[in-house]
Homo-oligomer: A and B are copies of this chain.
Amino acid sequence: MKRLTIQRQAILDLINRSNQHWDAEELARCLNKNGHQLGIATVYRGLGALENSGLIQSIQLADKKRYERADKGHHDHLICTNCGDIEEFCDDKIEQRQQQVAQDLSFHMTGHQLLMFGICQRCFNQSAGSEAL
């Protein structure tokens, strides 16, 4: 990334001001509703550039990529398959074992992504409630 333009700064600011996991369209919609005017292609390119520079990070879901702040550091994700909510966690033991596994297999790991799918507590409680009816 050679230039941190107004558009890219706007994307970065929005992501940094929130704890959400944004997709490109959500970002475009939100920015364009708040005084900015950036095309969807610019958003995609900006996100790619910001991620390459380490200013933001992303998770690759089945349908689309979602971007979040990078200043929280590395973590993995719990994804509720009912409501789509994304929770975060980081477990040192898992991280360490991953390193160990890679080393044992002579694999030069550069990154990883751990997604855990399931039902979040809120959805679980709700479905438990409705079952009792």
Most chain B CB within 10 A, of A62, A65, A101, A109, is at: A101
A contacts with B: majority SS: strand
Q: Contact check, B60 vs A87: say whether CB atoms are below 8 A apart.
A: no
List B contacts of A116 (CB < 8 A).
98, 101-102, 107, 109, 111-112
Question: How far is B102's CA from A113's CA once the two chains are assembled, in angstroms?
Answer: 16
Question: Does A2 make an interface contact (CB < 8 A)?
Answer: no
Q: Could you list 17 A-B pairs, sorted by A, with CB under 8 Å?
A: A60-B62, A62-B65, A78-B102, A78-B107, A80-B107, A89-B105, A91-B97, A93-B93, A97-B97, A98-B114, A101-B116, A102-B118, A106-B124, A107-B121, A108-B124, A110-B118, A114-B115
